[in-house]
Amino acid sequence: MADKYQNEFGGFAEKPKVPKKFYDLKYILLGLVIFFGLVFSPILPNLGKIVAAPSPNLDTPAILKLAKKDRQCVMPTPYMRTYHMQLLIDWREAAIRHGNREFISPTGKKFVANLSDTCMGCHSNKSKFCDQCHNFAAVTPNCWGCHLDKEQKVAKGGAK
């Protein structure tokens, strides 16, 4: 009874012979090639390429002017590397919403909590500092819609 089955009238009939054929195979394959080609198109051109790691540049006139032992950011470097965005949001919160614009670093130094003035005061090279990692990680922080960098001014020797 293996190749017989009961039909709708109660009788038994032979199983209809369906030809074992893959219909429209070439169109399906073509479609798959186009589909996967599109899916992987952003990855394929960069496959096997080595992209240089970002190297933020710290050599700005303001930093070079400091003595070696004073070349310390508001927090230790590993902390800044990981949490600078959180620190900036905390500063923003403290300065604007609570009116507390003073920040005391773990070394006991006092800073004014201000991106435009304090951060960009030392790191006046946005394209060689901020943009290095931000471009590498493909993040576009919206700071620069309002806050200004001092790059051109420093290059001209006009900034403090």
Give the footprint of other proteins on this chain (CB under 8 A): 92, 95-97, 99, 101-102, 112, 114, 116-117, 120, 145-150, 153, 159
**Beta carbon nearer to other proteins, 65 or 81:** 65
**Beta carbon nearer to other proteins, 32 or 112:** 112
Beta-carbon contacts of 120 under 8 Å, excluding residues fewer than 6 positions away, are: 126, 147, 148, 149, 150
Shortest approach of other proteins to residue 135 CB, angstroms? 21
Shortest approach of other proteins to residue 71 CB, angstroms? 22
Strands 12-14 and 4-6: antiparallel
Alpha helices in the chain (DSSP H): 25-40, 61-65, 77-92, 120-122, 130-136, 151-155
**Alpha-carbon span 53 to 87, nearest angstrom:** 24
**Beta carbon nearer to other proteins, 73 or 119:** 119
**Beta carbon nearer to other proteins, 105 or 116:** 116
**Beta carbon nearer to other proteins, 28 or 148:** 148
Shortest approach of other proteins to residue 126 CB, angstroms? 11
**Contact between residue 102 and residue 109 where contact means Cβ atoms under 8 Å apart:** no
Q: How many CB atoms lie within 10 A of CB 90?
A: 13
Shortest approach of other proteins to residue 113 CB, angstroms? 9
Shortest approach of other proteins to residue 32 CB, angstroms? 45
**Contact between residue 56 and residue 129 where contact means Cβ atoms under 8 Å apart:** yes
